[in-house]
Structure 1
């Protein structure tokens, strides 16, 4: 039992010790657990804080990722925009009308466009292979060496410059060169060939006539000034103004194309008359000007003037048609007649007016009195415009006599003008002015009406002859005027004779021929006035429907002084007989003239020997006087 007690006590003590140890262990473990729990709690707190930080970091990362995605999208957009911008830049660069090239200081190409390549035949290698090479500048040197030389020379100066030079192929290239800060340079190149040609054409057009290609008034005046300013020991300077006679009639009857062709032919003919050192210009309309240099004496200008008039007197061949266009010429000399271009041209123009007033087809030198005559001419033109309304015109009548019986067969109506201040003015003085002023159509219409009205009161066997101007055919309706005059006077068409001169026939116009045939068809007689003074009268007689031929007074007046004129008159009379045309001799003033005409069997005549033109109220007295003479002879 003791042993058991001690064993039990020992066991109990062991248990107690073990319990104590266990308690100690548990207490220590508890402390460890508490500490671990505290650490765990701290760790949990840390983890919670870390989780919050991680959540915050995740939010920041997500935001950053979102921002990166946005930035990436923006970069993509910018890249696309840049790519599009580069495309536009390339398109703009390569579609420039100018060539562009940028070079570094070693003359290597940095940038160039397609136009530059085509301008200077740059090799067709790929652009990257050509960049940083000297192939482009070498092509420039080969295609346009002078332009390349100027550009390279200017590089040493370093400033902006413009150049223009002709290439080997004849093209004109303009370049603008601009230096760059790094020592290189950029230049633009443009083919200005057509521009320069256009500028040259414009400059030529500004100084030349567009139709004839002759120098114009501006160039002509400029050349006169240069000649006057230049020291010259070669003599005087002759300025000439030329006007085509009756050009308007040619233009109106044959049409403007034929008129233009005539102007060109006239310019060529004038150019053939002068020396290479002289000048021919067209200064407007049908007016030309000639500048003759080194005129030793006025005779030199006189000879040229005569040569020009003679050349212009010859017929022109225009588009297969023969056209006649004579000319009048005025001449002024420097320094005799002035030392200013405007003064010389005005003086030559005054001389031209004098030549036209003297019957045209001639030339005149300037005289100081011509200015007064021109003023007088202008005053007469002004008065002419008022004369018709003021009833200052009258008709006088000269009898046409049958030479074999000395009986009157009719009268020629002749226009007279009684000026309120100057009195009677002869037709030879005012008719040309009326034609030039465009008044002749209206005046001619009045003459027709008055002549037909007067003739209606005469005996039925008497006819009335009326002169028609070429201007009336060109600017008016002559057929309508004639018909209206006949109807208004109740005069039969068989009692009217219309007289025309060869000047009307110069253009050989079909319209004129048709008009004359229509007048002839009405029963009106057609007479050719002043036969023998024109160009090709025989061809006219064959082509036109003439009933009468009126021999010019020049042949009649000279017939008594020589056999030639009498022979011509006899030939004309025989020609008229063979063609069935009545011949009328004009300008019979002496018994000798009458005897000669009777000897060659000329049927009719008129002149001062029979009667001067008389007013209308003396016609019946004249008719009765001749009837009395005829009855006495019978």
Structure 2
């Protein structure tokens, strides 16, 4: 035991032990001769020259070599075992931890959740899973570089860990997704309050060599119950809550409810039906006339998408386009819509504009402008007659790509308009993210804002502002004779709505175009009836 303490190397210990045996053995033999009556010198000489003496010396020396060899082998095995243990620990660290932030990863989360679910003893104890998703992370990577994105992830991970309490652990799932697992979680209200504090603490600006980087994020959380049997079940619920959070402007966190699951199934079914409808030709385009009040002539058409649903009949675009945008189906659907509209309009009134709605998702496609220009050239449709109705927040995400697409399109002669009331006012006041050629004001929204008695005055104000900045205005929502009178009193030049002209299919517009060329211009009394569906 003392030898282990003072000589920790096994090889040296074995060598010393063998050497001691080599020295002690002949001395013991000589001592035995001396005790038997022989002199010291004679006893030593007799012993060394005798076969036994020579064997007594050789055997311990051989023992020294043997024991030293065993010690060397033992020491080498010990070093190898320590090396393998260190390598195993490194592999375990890599398997259970994220390389960038040092947080535990998805594999570790799966084991921890599995352990918790196996050990749960009753309904009184619940575990909450909070799923985080960062806002604008792709934009940070694209505009400031991946080094800045990595810095943001590491700083936010440190803040999450610093905010954690007893029973809470933070994980990184990958990309910009994080999870906080909370064992023995309290009620929903307490968790909601915790999310408020966590968001305020974590999502603060991050200092970087390029300056401050603003951060933000959304949280969806779910709690275990008897129906949750795996990490997959719990993550799915938290993900649905996170999706709900992102759908609601101003909401930073949401708790999972079973209504979200039902809504998700309906969305999935609608997505499947839309994919099938796109493949089988179930989508159609309608064209609503835009009428110039001074001549009661058609100045253009606004394109509306219609879906002939197999069970629910014709559905307006407001019903299914949000699902198409969220699922990415708007990309193939939007391309089909553009190509079909150009094909339909190629033989219509020569100077009539064609206004098509464009989703922000489409503008975030780097090849969108190129596709539109190619489709225009292929169809022969004049670029100056095309008006793309863009969402007001189109440039909020991936602004560089969106603005590049819009700039390329406007450089080719395509016009840009906005329809949302606040964006339209911003367009008129020249406070905008991107250039606007025209705005579309909704008469119904203006009436709600101003009231029936002051709607003409407010509309007049908007129209005067538009005239000052030389921006064309189309007044939509003109659905009655009173609406038309209001538009005329305010001085509107172009109107759109069911009273000015109902929606027409491509064939009806083609017939109208032909009859318009062959007949004289109608009187004002005949105008509303002119655009009624045949």
TM bracket, shorter-chain basis: 0.5 to 0.7
Pairwise mapping of residues 404-415 of structure 1 onto structure 2 (< 5 A)? 408-415=298-305
CA distance in 1, matches of 2:68, 2:133: 67
Pairwise mapping of residues 404-553 of structure 1 onto structure 2 (< 5 A)? 408-475=298-365, 477-507=367-397, 509-530=399-420, 532=422, 541=431, 544-551=434-441
CA separation of 1:220 and 1:462: change in aligned 2, threshold 3 A: same
In the other structure, the counterpart of 1:348 is 238
The answer to whether the 8 Å contact 1:395/1:616 transfers is yes
| Alignment size in residue pairs | 465
Deviates most, 333-342 or 451-460 = 333-342
Name which of 219, 235, 242 aligns with 2:108.
Answer: 219
Alpha-carbon deviations, 1:503-546, whole Å to 9, x = none? 43123543432332221122110123436379x98999555232
The answer to whether the 8 Å contact 1:337/1:347 transfers is no
The answer to whether the 8 Å contact 1:401/1:410 transfers is yes
Residues 1:203 and 2:92 aligned together: yes
CA distance in 2, matches of 1:543, 1:210: 39
RMSD across aligned positions (CA): 5.5
CA distance in 2, matches of 1:194, 1:236: 42
CA distance in 1, matches of 2:212, 2:201: 15
**1:523 aligns to what SS in structure 2?**
coil
CA distance in 2, matches of 1:302, 1:437: 28
The answer to whether the 8 Å contact 2:136/2:397 transfers is no
CA distance in 1, matches of 2:107, 2:144: 28
Alpha-carbon deviations, 1:391-442, whole Å to 9, x = none? 1110122344557877653222122211233423443443344345443332
In the other structure, the counterpart of 2:160 is 271
Q: CA deviation at 1:235?
A: 6.7
Alpha-carbon deviations, 1:607-626, whole Å to 9, x = none? 556556443344478897xx
Pairwise mapping of residues 71-86 of structure 1 onto structure 2 (< 5 A)? none
Name which of 12, 23, 33 aligns with 1:102.
Answer: 12
Q: CA deviation at 1:283?
A: 2.6
Pairwise mapping of residues 104-503 of structure 1 onto structure 2 (< 5 A)? 187=75, 190=79, 202-211=91-100, 213-225=102-114, 229=119, 236-243=126-133, 250=139, 257=146, 260=149, 264=153, 271=160, 275-277=164-166, 278-285=168-175, 287-292=177-182, 295-303=185-193, 329-335=219-225, 338=228, 340-353=230-243, 364-401=254-291, 408-475=298-365, 477-503=367-393
Alpha-carbon deviations, 1:281-328, whole Å to 9, x = none? 443455443435565432234445677889999999998699999866
CA separation of 1:285 and 1:184: change in aligned 2, threshold 3 A: closer
Structure 2 stretches lacking a partner, 5+ long? 1-7, 21-65, 528-534
Q: CA deviation at 1:547?
A: 0.8
CA distance in 1, matches of 2:505, 2:215: 36
The answer to whether the 8 Å contact 1:401/1:409 transfers is yes
CA distance in 1, matches of 2:507, 2:299: 18
Q: CA deviation at 1:449?
A: 1.4
CA distance in 1, matches of 2:364, 2:432: 23
What TM-score results when the alignment is normalised by the length of structure 1? Answer: 0.56
Alpha-carbon deviations, 1:584-614, whole Å to 9, x = none? 4555667887788778766655455655644
Q: CA deviation at 1:222?
A: 3.6
CA distance in 2, matches of 1:312, 1:181: 61
CA distance in 1, matches of 2:321, 2:151: 26
Q: CA deviation at 1:460?
A: 2.6
CA distance in 2, matches of 1:183, 1:458: 99
CA separation of 1:191 and 1:336: change in aligned 2, threshold 3 A: closer
**1:417 aligns to what SS in structure 2?**
strand
Deviates most, 563-572 or 392-401 = 563-572
Q: Which protein has greater RCO, CA pairs closer than 8 Å, 6+ apart? A: 2
The answer to whether the 8 Å contact 1:211/1:260 transfers is no
**2:301 aligns to what SS in structure 1?**
strand
CA distance in 2, matches of 1:317, 1:537: 34
| Structure whose CA Rg is larger | 1
Deviates most, 257-266 or 396-405 = 257-266
CA distance in 2, matches of 1:351, 1:184: 63
The answer to whether the 8 Å contact 1:239/1:289 transfers is yes
The answer to whether the 8 Å contact 1:467/1:500 transfers is yes
The answer to whether the 8 Å contact 2:324/2:330 transfers is yes
The answer to whether the 8 Å contact 2:103/2:171 transfers is yes
CA separation of 1:216 and 1:487: change in aligned 2, threshold 3 A: same
CA separation of 1:449 and 1:104: change in aligned 2, threshold 3 A: closer
